[in-house]
Amino acid sequence: MKKLISAFLCIALSFSLFGCKSEKETTSVTTENSIETTTESTTEETTTATTSESTTETQSETTILDEETSLLKGYPMFTLSSEDLKDNYWPDICSHVAPGQDLSPALSWEPVEGASVYVIYMVDPDANYWLHWKQNGITETNLAQGFGGTDFVGPYPPSGATHQYEIYVIALKTPLAKVKGGLNSKNLKIADFMQALDTDDDGNTGNILAYGRISGLFTGK
């Protein structure tokens, strides 16, 4: 009888130990799975955050780069438009060579409060800021095609080449006797020439009130 009881106790003890071991192993596996799941979740969140920041930085850099292309950074802007600009291209009639007629494109903008005159510059940044239009003392705000007259020399890039042509209309508080820049020649200091408009003939600064900017392409024939 004693032997039977001893055998029964041994079997019961074995089952008890096996159960504890299995529970311990299950707990260990569950814990590892939890850690692995948490790690994957954290990694995914970090990746998402990094991607979002990278996108924001790229958009910001694009915006800054666009602002940096202006030759008159820091001044207020107004909307400048041209009915001649079609699909981002200036028309052939503006060209300096056939079939062009050397006619300046039509321009329009809303009057700037306090402005007495406007100055126009048209440059080709792809050709060392070649100056195609320089006109001073403008008082109108709706200019018909050909308004530039002899102050305008139309685009004439090399055959097959496409260049960018930018027009700046600058509103001035006080008229200036003359403006800097050599027509139909490269003007590497064109930004300095434009910013010089901010000082009037009496040496007072703050003469530039605002400016408008428009840009279009032209392909050489």
Looking at residue 152, what is its pLDDT? 98
Cα separations (Å) of 136 from 23, 67, 212? 91, 25, 15
CB 177 within 8 A of CB 126: no
The region of weakest confidence among 43-47, 54-58, 163-167 is 54-58
pLDDT-derived band at 154, boundaries 50, 70, 90:
very high
**Could you tell me if 87 and 5 lie in one domain?**
no
Looking at residue 30, what is its pLDDT? 40
Q: How far apart are CA 95 and CA 85, in angstroms?
A: 13
Q: How far apart are CA 221 and CA 209, in angstroms?
A: 38
**Could you tell me if 62 and 123 lie in one domain?**
no
The whole-model pTM stands at 0.70
CB 130 within 8 A of CB 185: yes
pLDDT-derived band at 69, boundaries 50, 70, 90:
confident
The region of weakest confidence among 13-22, 45-54, 154-163 is 45-54
Kindly report the CATH number assigned to the domain that includes residue 88.
Answer: 3.90.280.10
Structure tokens at 104: 């300046």
**Could you tell me if 8 and 86 lie in one domain?**
no
Cβ-based neighbours of 57, under 8 Å, separated by 6 or more:
none
**Could you tell me if 101 and 23 lie in one domain?**
no
> Can you tell me the mean pLDDT for 34-54?
35
Say whether the peptide bond before residue 99 is cis (omega within 30 degrees of 0). yes
In a domain, 73, yes or no: no
Tens digit of each residue's pLDDT (9 = 90 or more) over 115-141:
999 999 999 999 999 999 999 999 999
Q: How far apart are CA 45 and CA 54, in angstroms?
A: 14
Looking at residue 136, what is its pLDDT? 98
**Could you tell me if 47 and 116 lie in one domain?**
no
Q: How far apart are CA 177 and CA 29, in angstroms?
A: 87
Measure CA 56 to chain center.
14
Looking at residue 68, what is its pLDDT? 72
**Could you tell me if 63 and 136 lie in one domain?**
no
Looking at residue 49, what is its pLDDT? 32
State the average pLDDT for the chain: 79
In degrees to the nearest 10, what's the CA dihedral of 67, 62, 122, 136? Answer: -10
Does 193 have pLDDT greater than 50?
A: yes
Domain span at 148: 80-219
Does 25 have pLDDT greater than 50?
A: no
Which residue did the predictor score with more confidence, 13 or 207? Answer: 207
Does 212 have pLDDT greater than 90?
A: yes
Looking at residue 66, what is its pLDDT? 56
> Can you tell me the mean pLDDT for 159-182?
98
Total number of domains constituting the chain = 2
Does 37 have pLDDT greater than 50?
A: no
